[in-house]
Amino acid sequence: MTKTTNALDIIDNLIDEDPEMLEMIAEASLNTEIAQLIYDARMKANLTHQQLAELIKTEESVIVDLEEADYEGNPLIMLQKIAIALNQRLKLDFVSVA
């Protein structure tokens, strides 16, 4: 590793050497994207956490956890339920990271 005082460069160098850390960051990034997607859809539909929860037959805390990226279950199943409840279609895609 080249000597540097730039904190972001130091972090990048540490992460590049740790595949487990890269996996954790990728998972956290995906969870954050899903959380934002759910929040945006709920706000566009002008629904509260409770109203969305009732539409998909779950607890309000599940919606809160999903929007905070703290959900422990399968977020894709919940995304599909939310899409159906909001009369939308869930579209997934692979995009290049380079």
DSSP 49-92: HHHHHHHTTS-HHHHHHHHTT---S-HHHHHHHHHHHTT-----
Domains, the chain, with CATH or none: 7-85 (1.10.260.40)
What does the pLDDT look like over 27-70, one tens digit per residue?
888 888 889 999 999 999 999 999 999 999 999 999 999 999 88
Tell whether the model's pLDDT for residue 1 goes beyond 70. Answer: no
14: helix, coil or strand? helix
The pTM (predicted TM-score) of the whole model is 0.75
Summarised one tens digit per residue, pLDDT across range 12-21 is 777 777 788 8
